[in-house]
Amino acid sequence: MRVLCVAEKPSIAKELARILSGGHFDNRAGKNKFCRNFDFQYRLPPPLGDNRDSEFTVTSVLGHLTETDFLDEFRRWSSCDPFALFDAPVVTQVTSNHRQLERNLQAEARNADMLMIWTDCDREGEHIGHEVVEVCRRVNPGLQVSRARFSAIIPNQIHNACRQANDLDMRMVNAVTVRQVLDLRIGAAFTRLMTLTLQRRMEEEFEKKIISYGPCQFPTLGFVVDQYNRVQSFVPEPFWKIEVMIERFFEDEEEPVQVKFTWGRNHVLDLPIAVLLYEETVNKPTATVVKVETKPTTKRKPYPLTTVELQKAGSRLLGMTPKRVLDLAEKLYQKGFLSYPRTETDEYDPQFDFMSFIQKQTHDNAWSAYAQKLIDGDFERPRMGRKNDKAHPPIHPTAAAINIDTDERRVYEFVTRRFLASCSSDAKGKETSVEIEIAGEYFSASGLIVLERNYLDIYPYDKWAGKKLPDFQLGEQFMPDVCELEKGSTTKPKLLTEADLVGLMDNNGIGTDATIAEHIAKVIEREYVIAKKEGKENFLIPSSLGVGLVEGYNAIGFDRSLSKPHLRRETEHRLELICEGQQTKAEVLSTSVEEYKEVFIKARRDFDTVVNSVTEYLHGQGEVQQASWADDGGSTLAASGATRTAAQRQRINAVARNGRTVRCNCGLEATCGITVSGPNKDRAYRACPNTRNARCGFFEWVNEDGNRPAAERSMVGGGPAPSSGGFGACFNCGGSHWVRDCADVAGESSSRSRGGQGGGGRSLGGGGGGTDACFKCNKLGHWASNCPNA
């Protein structure tokens, strides 16, 4: 009996031959210089064999053999209306650069009795296997076909896969066929529409540039632009909070520790209310301990590792792009050091042999002692996740790694430490919390003592530490050393990192765990997105073209925009239904094509909106700002050129047209903006247009409804106090002074303790070195609530 085995890659073919032959095989040249043919004998038991030695040949392909494309008469861009591509005939054939592989497969298949498919065990691998079958059966129509399924290139799995080979899953094959046809039709139609129109309307910018559309890439770009808009349109809002601190000694320690209590309200946005509450605490400053609680706590060990989590961790912890991480994991898999790295499964089967894999890690000096401890009794079964793709286990090490390069080692180390950590016990600790009451306001502090590190000893990527609290007794009363009214401001969000984007795409069904990294790499390659590295992570900034396209499509007003995840998520769901046998290939193709036809018709009709948006951003009216991409400070207002939604831009333009010319303290014309969050959401404002460090602090709300005074203006810093007779500068009383100097609210800055504590405010009681002075006038003999000088 002659058996032809076909793997997806040359390196896997060689490993299969080595394992199945016990290292004794002949190595022949194939028709392609990269794909060798390996010959040996193997005893295949029933039902596939007859327990006698069979003649085995193992060879390989280089991924997909075939491609789907339009017939020649539709391939030229000027050959037809782009809309016709939704229905144009398509053909699938072996690509020109794979003709040698086709000849090699057919030469080996002519005299074979059985074709055994050894491609990767996922949708794409199933389709590649079907492509191999189609090529081989052209020269041997009666060829018996079987499918070997495995998750790791290790001897026991490979031998079991060979002896228990079954059938190809044609439902998975059909799902990939549908995906290929849809990507071709949708991508080609929209790419031609965008490219030809923009080349005609903006010849100088796009004369030789293809503006490519992909049904996964555009939602990916949309996530990046949406987050960029949030960052650029963010307006910080001030808040105030009461900070309480006491210094207390531990037994047998000479130096006191500072215990900081957090306000139960966290913070308030209204300064007069904050001052009122603060006054109550300084009028009745005695703190009473109302709750002391000590309880055991745990830090849970990580779940078993999936492809998505590997990509996210690789980006955040290893400083690699998701694609780079997956490529390295693939190499380690091909070398037999890792299990198959493309899996959604985060739980192990009950029969999984943990001990054999842990035993292999006792040969690595970096963690051999820890692995031995697990074998000796510290092992605890991994947590059960929520996903099981029924194809592959979670990613785990399959052998001790040798002769691998530095980056491969880093990925291997992360996977191995994650695996050993998942087989460990949770970390255990003791948490103490204390709650105090001052004048009806509640404050709390907590401390942590780690009792058993457990998995943390092998998994340095997780941190768990806390300060030990001194003793507090229920009912105890004391005077805080510090009671302060602190000012803060809301902080703007950060731009997306690659790890953030991987999570968004996974949660929204854009791409699969195996293709997410490719889509991210594609939008960067096409210059729709720019990756800026800070520390270990890449922050993602949309290019001017990327923002222009997304904002243009969003402004058209689709029910389901091309830059949003809804359309592609529905398509991915339908592909899953094909795999489950609930829908047919024809049904999904028809439904999805009709959906995109409707979108295309509306996009073409209103494409001037896209052209105008792209023009605006490329010519500087909406120039993308790339500074401080990782800054999470909250002190900046959105600049006039910042990216905004179309609706926001319309409102800003209306304010600028209809309002008077207003100049800030720098003498510059104030810019207009719209707040996007908080109690003043959607309210128009004017602000100093200077860069952050040069701003004069000018800010005013704009009267849009005619019911408020002409302007409500707040001067929040810098420059001389305004003269009387003009607009009131203080937002609290309307007087001609800075709000920070307003006696009614005792200033906008934090009321810090005096007498050794610094700042303006009041220190309360014991050991703080403070004085019982009024925080409004800083004189003794009265409290702020009845200050005669206010």
Strand pairing of 144-147 and 114-118? Answer: parallel
Contacts of 527 (CB under 8 A, 6+ apart): 543, 545, 546
Q: If we measure between CA atoms, which residue out of 183, 305, 226 comes closest to residue 504?
A: 226
Q: If we measure between CA atoms, which residue out of 222, 217, 219, 214 comes closest to residue 186?
A: 214
Rounded CA-CA distance 655/686 in Å is 9
Tell me which DSSP letter residue 136 carries: H
| Active-site amino acid positions | 340
Place of tokens 């319309």: 650
Q: If we measure between CA atoms, which residue out of 514, 155, 122, 152 comes closest to residue 340?
A: 152
Rounded CA-CA distance 290/299 in Å is 27
What are the helix (H) ranges across 123-168? 123-137, 155-163
Place of tokens 């026991």: 156
In order of 413, 601, 641, 682, 771, the CA distances from 346 in angstroms are: 19, 42, 45, 42, 60
Rounded CA-CA distance 541/558 in Å is 24
Rounded CA-CA distance 750/748 in Å is 7
**Identity of the residue numbered 571:** T
Rounded CA-CA distance 668/690 in Å is 8
Q: If we measure between CA atoms, which residue out of 158, 171, 189, 164 comes closest to residue 562?
A: 189
CA terminus-to-terminus distance, the chain: 103
Residue 60: how many CB atoms within 10 A of its CB?
29
Two structure tokens written together for 229 = 């808009």
Q: If we measure between CA atoms, which residue out of 695, 694, 726 comes closest to residue 713?
A: 726
Q: What is the Cα gyration radius of the chain?
A: 34
The DSSP result for 336-353, as a single string, is TSB--S-----S--TT--
Q: If we measure between CA atoms, which residue out of 93, 102, 11, 96 comes closest to residue 58?
A: 11
Two structure tokens written together for 310 = 């590997």
Rounded CA-CA distance 12/782 in Å is 84
- Percentages helix, strand, coil for the chain (3-state, rounded to 5) are 35, 20, 45
Half-sphere exposure of 650 (CA within 13 A, CB side): 6
In the sheet that 711-715 helps form, which strands lie side by side, from edge to edge?
A: 671-674, 684-687, 698-702, 711-715
Two structure tokens written together for 274 = 């904050």
Q: What is the 3-state secondary structure (H, E, C) of 226-282?
A: HHHHHHHCCCCCEEEEEEEEEEECCCCCCCCEEEEEEECCCCECCHHHHHHHHHHHH
Are the CB atoms for 536 and 317 separated by under 8 Å?
A: yes
Residue 190 DSSP SS3: helix
Rounded CA-CA distance 380/354 in Å is 10
Place of tokens 């720098």: 666
Rounded CA-CA distance 765/759 in Å is 17
Rounded CA-CA distance 356/569 in Å is 40
Two structure tokens written together for 13 = 């073919």
Two structure tokens written together for 735 = 């007087």
Burial class (CB in 10 A: 0-12, 13-18, 19+), 317: middle
